[in-house]
């Protein structure tokens, strides 16, 4: 597994098959598709071999538009390079005249398979600073309102000084706040009816955009260049350093929605209308700027075009059972609304981030399409006072070692060898509908294109690229030995968080094999962690789009076919079955995937399921594997921290366990350890070893929480403890929460359906 992690450290890519099946039939027999998990703007450590940033424009092939790379064949005498994708001969421009075998440009260095360009010119610096539009729900109780106002005040303090800020609040009505009305004694607010869908023209008219400057008779109204006054825009989008006092004053005076709510009804909340107004306002003022809408939602939408439930409390919010039976009356209408909103946001280049905090569902399942297609962030918590929400909000605006590296205006493109086609991408992006010879007829995720829009992306955003091998015949041995490489090139053009436009280029070469003797080569290049993550994304995608899809049966059949193809066994002798070490953990991953929250929707709401899948679809292989199969670390006096099996035998009185299931981090103290801690032994000088043992899992949990977004929930509990204290005090949540550990550790040989990992192989 180490060699695959080294490849990821170099290029940000993990592929299930690092030796690729060479024909369509071979690829079909391999079950797991030829695919890649790619992190487009992965942060690389700074060292002598770190990725260079070149201050000039890339050199492109004149036929396929791929970029000069280490796999290009160079004729130094004739000053010609041959493209490995289309074999076109290209002349070097004059400024490459001095290249020789000993004087290569950086893009031809063998170790620089990933490289970044930052060409100079008028587009070097963005003319529009970062833009943040806060959309705040006011239909929440006073306690939650105070938590939310406190978190927003801290976020405002962390905003870059040059960033532009806007504020919209909503409840029964939508209120657009004029933050730039300097000199006004009373802040001005424009109010819109929540039940009415407001068009862009109506919005601009009612916001008095055309008082000083008449409305253009024709054309699209988008920014200063197209007819809007910069002074008018500055009324609603104000630099953070100018409006900090005004914004904090508005937040301090913000009250719960004043409209009365009958005891048998829900609050009137017009989430969809508020988001539509925010999108239209940003589309008119700062199109193409990479602006972010940060929506803070505290309950279900009950008013307007995107209502997910009626106001009457007698009507329950849709469940998975309702969705399966197609008996959720509001669901399809709301999804259609947010799908149209996502197209508008993608066209504008804007991002929708969602912070949903409520004990009830808020509509994450419906909002999923808009958040995912724009590359937005999503956080789901029980309360605005919960550490998961508060720490995650701070992480969005944090700058330093653990910043998210938020970037915008991304365009992602793929080039590959002629025998490979692109089926699609599963991840946070939207199709640009660039059709061509690279597009496969079989579509997976966002397909039928070789270019995608990524309105928002960060250092951890990862895409699952799915390919199709189109070569049908097995080539002869001579041709296979001389031309046995497939090439891939991934191009990411994006706006860096410093405002510069950059182009990152990753070029890969993978050997292909075909024929009877190819099985051992395929086994040698199999990455079982990447394969498990690809299967998880595929099964989640299929569960959402295929009505009668049976995920358990699909996973079981896939595992059976994999084992029959790559396992060693004698017919009618189950005890003779064995798998290569390269495949030995894959059945275990499938076992945990079958019982994971991505497949088992029992006891999860549609909002929770949508949330889990959205995080899975944007995370890298390492984090995704933890979601599928939690990691367990054991701490004791007898040895240093060491991995432990997800088995009930891992629980011992003299051990501390650290369970990481990605969304939750649990520190579990054995009974003896808990007694010693309560007795205060760790505070005595003669028991420093015990103090260090107690501190070690906390330090490791702290590192996990610093690196992860959303910030996971921390649970500290004791063996046989009782649940004591308030919900928000995780130090005293111990109690029955130690069952979180037991849920993963009990019955390791069987899942909730009574199947063992190898039952599905026989």
Task: Collect all residues with Cβ–Cβ distance below 8 Å to 446 and sequence separation of at least 6.
Answer: 424, 425, 426, 427, 429, 430, 431, 452
Vertex 539 angle, CA 536 and 544, to 5°: 125
User: What are the distances in angstroms from CA 1 to CA 6, 8, 287, 581, 585?
Assistant: 9, 11, 45, 10, 11
Structure tokens at 298: 């505290």
Q: How do residues 502-524 score in pLDDT, each as one tens digit?
A: 999 999 999 999 887 889 999 99
Query: In order of start, what are the domains of the chain with their CATH numbers?
Result: 1-120+406-472+482-514 (2.60.40.1670), 131-213+229-397 (3.40.50.410), 527-629 (1.20.120.730), 630-761 (3.40.20.10)
Which whole number is the average pLDDT over 200-207? 88
Q: How many CB atoms lie within 10 A of CB 220?
A: 12
In this prediction, what percent of the chain has a pLDDT beyond 70? 89
User: For 188-198, what is each residue's pLDDT tens digit?
Assistant: 899 999 998 88
Mean pLDDT of 344-355: 96
pLDDT of residue 483: 72
Three-state SS for 322? Answer: helix
- Token code pair at residue 244: 């900090």
Tokens of 80: 């010609």
Locate tokens 């076919």: which residue? 561
Q: Give the HSE-up count for residue 479: Cα atoms under 13 Å, Cβ half-sphere.
A: 7
Q: Which pLDDT score is estimated for 121?
A: 63
Please tell me the distance from the alpha carbon of residue 734 to that of residue 666, in angstroms, as a whole number: 10
Percent residues over pLDDT 90 in the chain: 67
Rounded Cα–Cα distance for residues 355 and 638 (Å): 44
Q: Identify the CA nearest to 431 among candidates 545, 346, 490.
A: 346
Residue indicated by tokens 């939310």: 148
Instruction: Please say whether the beta carbons of 169 and 254 come within 8 A.
Output: yes
23, two tokens: 């024909």
What pLDDT, on the 0 to 100 scale, is given for residue 469? 94
**Is it the case that residue 561 has pLDDT exceeding 60?**
yes
Does pLDDT of 635 surpass 70?
yes
Q: How buried is 484 (Cβ within 10 angstroms: 0-12 exposed, 13-18 middle, 19+ buried)?
A: middle
Query: 596-605: which pairs have CB atoms within 8 A and are 24 or more residues apart?
Result: 596/536, 596/627, 596/628, 598/536, 598/539, 598/540, 598/627, 598/628, 599/539, 599/540, 599/543, 599/551, 599/552, 599/555, 600/752, 601/320, 604/320, 605/317, 605/319, 605/320, 605/361
What's the rounded Cα separation, in Å, for the pair 172 and 303? 8
The whole-number pLDDT of residue 49 equals 65
What band does 377 get if pLDDT is binned at 50, 70 and 90? very high
Tell me what pLDDT residue 759 has.
Answer: 42
**Cα-based angle 141, 144, 149 (whole degrees, multiple of 5):** 120
Instruction: State the chain's mean pLDDT as an integer.
Output: 87
Q: pLDDT per residue over 33-54, tens digit each? A: 999 999 999 988 776 567 889 9
Element (DSSP H or E) covering residue 251: helix 240-253
Tokens of 637: 């006096």
- Whole-Å CA distances, 699 to 650, 694, 703, 741, 755: 21, 9, 6, 19, 37
Q: Which of 223-227, 306-310, 514-518 is least confident? A: 223-227
Task: Please write the tens of the pLDDT for every residue from 538-549.
Answer: 999 999 999 889
- Residue 760 predicted with pLDDT over 50: no
Q: 3-state DSSP: the chain helix, strand, coil percent, rounded to 5?
A: 35, 20, 45
Question: Which residue blocks in 2-101 are alpha helix, DSSP H?
Answer: 2-11, 24-29
Q: How many C-beta neighbours within 10 Å does residue 496 have?
A: 19
């Amino acid at each position: 597994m180490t060699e695959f992690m080294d490849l990821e450290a170099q290029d940000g890519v993990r592929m299930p098959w690092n030796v690729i099946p060479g024909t369509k039939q071979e690829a079909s027999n391999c079950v797991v598709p030829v695919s890649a998990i790619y992190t487009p703007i992965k942060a690389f450590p700074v060292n002598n071999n770190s990725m260079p940033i070149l201050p000039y424009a890339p050199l492109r092939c004149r036929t396929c538009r791929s970029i000069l790379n280490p796999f290009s064949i160079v004729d130094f005498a004739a000053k010609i390079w041959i493209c490995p994708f289309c074999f076109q001969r290209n002349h070097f421009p004059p400024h490459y005249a001095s290249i020789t075998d000993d004087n290569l440009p950086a893009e031809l260095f063998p170790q620089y398979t990933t490289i970044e360009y930052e060409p100079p010119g008028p587009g070097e610096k963005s003319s529009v600073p970062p833009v943040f539009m806060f959309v705040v729900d006011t239909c929440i109780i006073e306690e939650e309102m105070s938590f939310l106002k406190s978190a927003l005040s801290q976020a405002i303090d962390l905003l870059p000084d040059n960033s532009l800020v806007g504020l919209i609040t909503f409840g029964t009505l939508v209120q657009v706040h004029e933050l730039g009305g300097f000199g006004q004694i009373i802040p001005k607010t424009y109010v819109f009816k929540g039940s009415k869908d407001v068009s862009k023209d109506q919005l601009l008219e009612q916001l008095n955009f055309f008082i000083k400057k008449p409305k253009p008779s024709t054309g699209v109204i988008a920014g200063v260049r197209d007819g809007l006054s910069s002074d008018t825009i500055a009324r609603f989008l104000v630099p953070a350093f100018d409006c900090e006092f005004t914004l904090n004053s508005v937040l301090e005076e913000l009250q719960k929605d004043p409209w009365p709510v009958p005891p048998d009804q829900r609050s009137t909340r017009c989430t969809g209308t508020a988001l539509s107004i925010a999108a239209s306002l940003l589309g008119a003022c700062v199109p193409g700027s990479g602006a972010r809408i940060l929506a803070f939602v505290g309950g279900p939408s009950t008013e307007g075009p995107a209502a997910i439930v009626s106001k009457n409390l007698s009507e329950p919010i849709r469940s998975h059972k309702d969705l399966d039976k197609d008996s959720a009356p509001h669901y399809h209408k709301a999804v259609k609304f947010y799908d149209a909103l996502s197209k508008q946001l993608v066209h504008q280049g804007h991002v929708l981030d969602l912070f949903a905090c409520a004990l009830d569902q808020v509509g994450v399942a419906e909002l999923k399409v808009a958040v995912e297609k724009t590359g937005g962030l999503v956080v789901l918590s029980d309360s605005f006072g919960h550490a998961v929400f508060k720490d995650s909000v701070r992480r969005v605006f944090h700058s330093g070692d653990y910043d998210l590296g938020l970037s915008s205006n991304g365009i992602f493109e793929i080039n590959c060898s002629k025998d490979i086609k692109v089926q699609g991408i599963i991840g946070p992006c939207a199709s640009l509908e660039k059709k061509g010879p690279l597009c496969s007829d079989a579509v997976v995720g966002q397909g039928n294109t070789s270019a995608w829009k990524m309105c928002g992306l960060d250092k951890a955003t990862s895409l699952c690229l799915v390919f199709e091998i189109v070569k049908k015949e097995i080539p002869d041995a001579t041709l296979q030995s001389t031309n046995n490489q497939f090439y891939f090139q991934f191009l990411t053009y994006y706006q860096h968080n410093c405002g510069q436009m950059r182009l990152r280029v990753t070029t890969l070469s993978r050997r292909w094999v075909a024929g009877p003797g190819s099985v051992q080569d395929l086994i040698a290049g199999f990455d079982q962690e990447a394969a498990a993550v690809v299967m998880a994304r595929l099964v989640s995608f299929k569960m959402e789009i295929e009505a009668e899809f049976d995920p358990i049966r699909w996973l079981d059949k896939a595992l059976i076919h994999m084992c029959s193809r790559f396992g060693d066994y004698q017919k009618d002798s189950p005890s003779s079955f064995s798998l290569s070490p390269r495949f030995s953990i894959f059945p275990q991953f499938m076992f945990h995937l079958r019982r994971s929250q991505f497949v088992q929707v029992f006891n999860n709401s549609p909002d929770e399921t949508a949330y889990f899948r959205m995080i899975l679809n944007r995370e890298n292989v390492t984090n995704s594997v933890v979601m599928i199969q939690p990691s367990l670390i054991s701490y004791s006096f007898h040895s240093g921290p060491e991995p432990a099996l997800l088995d009930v035998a891992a629980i011992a009185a003299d051990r501390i366990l650290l369970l990481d299931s990605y969304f939750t981090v649990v520190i579990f103290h054995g009974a003896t350890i808990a007694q010693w801690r309560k007795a205060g032994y760790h505070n005595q000088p003669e028991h420093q070893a015990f103090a260090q043992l107690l501190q070690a899992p906390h330090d490791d949990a702290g590192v996990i929480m610093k690196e992860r977004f959303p910030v996971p929930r921390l649970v500290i509990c004791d063996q046989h403890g009782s649940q004591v204290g308030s919900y928000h005090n995780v130090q005293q949540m111990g109690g029955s929460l130690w069952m979180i550990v037991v849920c993963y550790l009990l019955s390791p040989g069987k899942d909730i359906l009574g199947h063992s990992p190898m039952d599905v192989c026989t």
